Chain A
Amino acid sequence: VDGGGAVILVLSILAAIALGTIVITLITRVVRLRRTRRRDRLVAGPRKRLVALLVGGDDGGLDQLAGLSPAQWRALEPIAVTMLEKVSGNARHTLALLFERQGVIARALADLRRSRFYNRANAAETLGTLHCRAALPDLGSLLNASNEEMRVVALRALGRIGDPAYAEAMLDTLVHDPTTPASLVAYTLHQLGQQASPTLLHGMDHPSPQVRLAAITAVQLLGAPGSPGVCTRVAHALRTDESTAVRQRAAEALGRLGTQVALVALLDATSATTQTPAVRAAAVSGLGTLGARAAVAPLCVLLGDDEYSVAHAAARSLLRLGPEGRTALRDRSTGADRAAAHAAEAFAITTLGDRRLEGPATIPTARRIPVLHEST
């Protein structure tokens, strides 16, 4: 083959590849489109029936939906699953009944014991979403699974089901595997509600800083001391815990707990020489979250703190203390020192915020709404 022939051969091969790719892409799209349309056709009627059933306007709907063909149920199931996460009360209960009648729960319970991770994880997700208490023992066992992802899925499922009896086992996952995110454990623990408070209280005394961090974060997410002594224990952690991360989180949590104990502990931490700047700044922010007027004067002093993060947090916290905080900021913003600069910055931001509230909302240009005339 001469030079020109070789070029033509290469170009022909490239053209064939390109054409083949285009044909395959088109066929794939057509197949997908047909599949989607078929699914939409299959699901249209059952979806309407499902909506009516959840609203309580279709007495025989449950029987009819329970009797759907496997193909129709496969099409409807993802919709039903997403609805589970959008409604509560009777509608949710009805959906759970439908899943039970369709055999979803029995299948998932069986899948939870299968060897393949994919089956077990899917089953755990489904059972968690359905708040299936029958799955609790198996999900509890899966907290010790060798697969890290499986342990995370089991944690999430247990959090959704919300049985406080598993709170300790959930906290212990951090001991068995320190790579488990403490924030995830904390979030799932907070889903258990105030009944988990006794376990959280014990968790704050645990030797592992990860466990203490998760316990305090869960208290912070709960936003209220569920058991007597929780607030005092968090305040103690702020003063004495050896871990900076735990002390910082304790300061944030105290801001949300909002008691006199929290106020005193936060005020102490803002000026304690033993605390790091990060913890002091967290305590200052906590005072803003707490919203106590008694913090206005100490925060004004902290505006002049040598640590930028502390002074900056003080200005932001004053903003959150209502008219008294704003007045203090305005009064302090007229000087020429660092405190005045922090106050002026925060005050300028609040002025912008006020104008935004008073003025019209920003409307994206591309979607601008027609001007309203007086006559409309």
Chain B
Amino acid sequence: MALIMIADDDPDICDLVQFQLEQNGFEVAVANDGAKAIELARDRPPDLAILDVSMPGLSGLDVCRLLREEPTTASTRIIMLTTRIHEQDLEAGFNVGADDYLPKPFSLRELSQRVNVLIASTRR
């Protein structure tokens, strides 16, 4: 069973995404800030991480960069969730190694499909 990590300081988003992904048969780990996300990822590298860009302390971009630096998490697929949708924000996300970007408000079904595509790509 693929492990997906969600890092978002908004408990509503965490609950919604966790419920959605568990319904789809994934195992889900939740972190409410960036530091906790790094701890979780180091403890057990996820197949995919969904990161909120704006979190207190370590931002989603920082977490993404750190995950890419760790040999154990360098190949983890990463989706950034954000309300920042300007070109430079997208560019910043892709520059630190994000695989995909989803602006808030987002469709749970769309997120689910993007997760499926990225997880499938890790298994090819």
Contact = CB atoms under 8 A, between A and B. Distances in A.
B105 A92 contact: yes
A370 B16 CA distance: 30
Band of interface residues on B = 20 to 34
Interface in A320-376: 357, 360-364, 367, 369-370, 372, 376
A87 B110 contact: no
Interface stretch (A49-57, A147-155, A184-192): A49-57
A88 B70 contact: no
A55 B23 contact: yes
Contact of A90 (B43, B58, B104, B109): B109
A52 B20 CA distance: 8
Contact of A376 (B10, B72, B96, B109): B72
B97 to A, nearest CB: 10
A223 B88 CA distance: 13
Given A51-B16, A52-B19, A86-B13, A91 B107 contact: yes
Nearest to A80: B12
For the residues of B in contact with A, the DSSP-based class is helix
B12 A83 contact: yes
Nearest to B44: A376
Interface in B69-90: 69-70, 72, 87
B35 A82 contact: no
Contacts of B108: 54-56, 87, 89-91
A87 B42 contact: no
Contacts of A363: 35, 58, 62
Nearest to A320: B88
Interface of A: 51-52, 54-57, 79, 82-83, 85-92, 223, 357, 360-364, 367, 369-370, 372, 376
